[in-house]
Amino acid sequence: MKPLPALLALLVIAAVAIAVLTATPWLLVGALLLACAVLTVLLLASQAEVRRLRRSGPSSQESRRELPGEPSATRLPDLSTTQEKVPVARGARAKPTPVRSDPSASPEPLSSRAGEIIARHAGRLPEAVLQRTHTILKRLEEVDTLIRLGRVEHENAHLARRIALEFLPESLEGYLLLPPSQAMTLHLVPGKTGYDLLMEELSALGRASKDLLNQTALSEGQALLVNHEFIREKFRSARREFDV
């Protein structure tokens, strides 16, 4: 109850009490009028309070305690501290970070697959096939040593792996699928048997492996060539003096 309406109520009560005790009619009438005025003021004050609460909305009730069984309000995330995730356009691919290929990370020796095939089927493969295959593998083993040291260019290392782990084994396996009695007699294409086709494939792989080894040797030989030129220029005058 507000202070002013409470004071008026006390005055009305006091006036009514005095009027009753003194039996004064005019005082009793005045007390009744004052009581009506107090009730009017209280009613107006109550209506004003209701309007104020309606205008203020639910913000004025934030401090009230939650009643039993009443669901608690859901707290919204603080947008000021939440980092917004930008969606990636559909179908778009993230640009990969360029990574330098390490040729030395070869998981297996280059001669492993072809070597296993030869070990299992040596009796089925003609001697000429075995000789060419061993020549190719020997060259690839030399290249493989340099690959593991990281001294072979990426393109050459990739080609060496494909020759050793893909092309050469598939050529041998394709030949071994043929019936042994037909491999060297049945013409798969006009004028060429399975054996002839295999020998052509081995010749092509042999040239490729030789080119790889030559390119690797030339690349490695640059250091020797530079050192040779330096020494020759450095000691040219000394050699002439020695010859004299």
Cβ–Cβ < 8 Å for 216, 143: yes
pLDDT of residue 11: 65
For the chain, strand residue ranges (E) read 187-189, 192-193
Within its chain, how far is the Cα of 99 from the centroid? 14
DSSP-derived secondary structure letter, 189: E
Joined tokens for residue 134: 């061993």
pLDDT of residue 102: 47
CA 56, CA 53: separation in Å to the nearest integer?
5
Joined tokens for residue 125: 């493969």
Q: Can you give the residue ranges of every domain in the chain?
A: 3-51, 106-238
CA 111, CA 206: separation in Å to the nearest integer?
14
CA 203, CA 197: separation in Å to the nearest integer?
10
Joined tokens for residue 136: 């190719």
DSSP-derived secondary structure letter, 196: H
Grouped pLDDT means (10 residues each) for the chain, 244 residues: 58 67 66 71 75 64 48 52 48 40 53 88 93 93 86 87 93 95 94 96 95 86 84 75 55
Q: What are phi and psi of 107, to 5 degrees?
A: -75, -20
Give residues with Cβ within 8 angstroms of 168, minimum separation 6: 113, 114, 133, 136, 137, 202, 205
Half-sphere exposure of 118 (CA within 13 A, CB side): 17
The pTM score is: 0.50
DSSP-derived secondary structure letter, 167: I
Q: What are phi and psi of 93, to 5 degrees?
A: -115, 140
Can you name the residues that pair with 193 across neighbouring β-strands? 187
Distance linking the first and last C-alpha atoms of the chain:
130
